[in-house]
């Protein structure tokens, strides 16, 4: 899904959640390619972001498979269940998008 979609600014953020039983089949990468391709090709967006907890290796792997670049780490930015977690910021620009190859 689009967690954020600012058409005027040309920026959006993609997020996802998969049932554990469906992990490891490439479903999320394929689905995200479809929504990102729609954002860049049909809607003319300029930048798509992906935010994940720094210790979420499966999520970071999806961002990488989508051709995104790790732009930085926001330290202790996400408070959850009594702990503050680092978050990674990934993004891909329209000029870099080739269907997430
Ligand atoms: C993050 C999350 C969506 C990743 O799911 P995923 O199934 O690992 O991601 P993909 O759909 O890209 O699948 C890739 C896996 O499928 C495998 N795969 C199998 N068949 C495949 C195919 N035909 N094409 C592509 N990949 C395939 C890949 O080898 C890879 O497995 P591996 O990581 O064990 O090597 C999932 O772990 C999740 O929902 N986690 C909880 C919520 C969460 O963290 N959301 C993200 C917050 S930012």
CA of 24 to the centre of ligand 1 (A): 5
Tell me the C-alpha distance between 41 and 60, whole Å: 24
Q: Considering the entire predicted model, what is its pTM? A: 0.94
CA of 66 to the centre of ligand 1 (A): 12
Domains of the chain, earliest start first: 2-96 (3.40.630.30)
25 in contact with ligand 1, CB cutoff 6 A: yes
Nearest of 95, 94, 98, 101 to residue 12 by alpha carbon: 94
Is the per-residue pLDDT at 100 higher than 60?
no
18 in contact with ligand 1, CB cutoff 6 A: yes
- Tens of pLDDT along 51-98? 999 999 999 999 999 999 999 999 999 999 999 999 999 999 999 998
Query: Which pLDDT value is given to residue 10?
Result: 98
């Amino acid at each position: 899904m689009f967690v954020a979609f600012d058409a005027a600014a040309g920026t959006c953020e993609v997020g996802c959640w998969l049932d554990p039983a469906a992990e490891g089949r490439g479903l999320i990468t394929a689905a995200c390619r479809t929504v990102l391709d729609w954002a860049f090709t049909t809607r003319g967006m300029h930048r798509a972001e992906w935010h994940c907890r720094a210790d979420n290796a499966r999520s970071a792997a999806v961002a990488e498979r989508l051709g995104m670049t790790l732009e930085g780490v926001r330290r202790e930015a996400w408070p959850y269940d009594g702990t503050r977690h680092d978050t990674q910021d990934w993004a891909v620009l329209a000029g870099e998008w080739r269907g997430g190859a």
